[in-house]
């Protein structure tokens, strides 16, 4: 899902996924992926809720 939404080449990608909850209920959740560099300069992707910085 993330790869499909990151085609624009930006550092921040918003995307939606379904979570399977208790009782087989589905919940649609929006997540944010941020591309950057780690402590040693390695490429990392951090996935978080949209309101987290």
> pLDDT tens, 28-46?
999 999 888 899 999 888 9
Q: What are phi and psi of 7, to 5 degrees?
A: -65, -20
Domain boundaries, the chain: 2-48
Q: Is the pTM of this model over 0.95?
A: no
15-30 pLDDT per residue, tens: 899 999 999 999 999 9
pLDDT of residue 18: 95
Spatial distance between the Cα atoms of 37 and 23, rounded to a whole number of angstroms: 39
Contacts of 31 (CB under 8 A, 6+ apart): 14, 15, 16, 17, 47, 48, 49, 50
Q: What is the band of 10 on the pLDDT scale with cuts at 50, 70, 90?
A: low
């Amino acid at each position: 899902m993330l790869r499909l939404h990151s085609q624009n080449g930006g550092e921040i990608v918003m995307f939606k996924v379904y979570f399977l909850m208790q009782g087989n209920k589905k919940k649609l959740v929006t997540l944010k992926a941020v591309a950057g560099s780690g402590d040693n300069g390695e490429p990392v992707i951090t996935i978080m809720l949209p309101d987290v910085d």
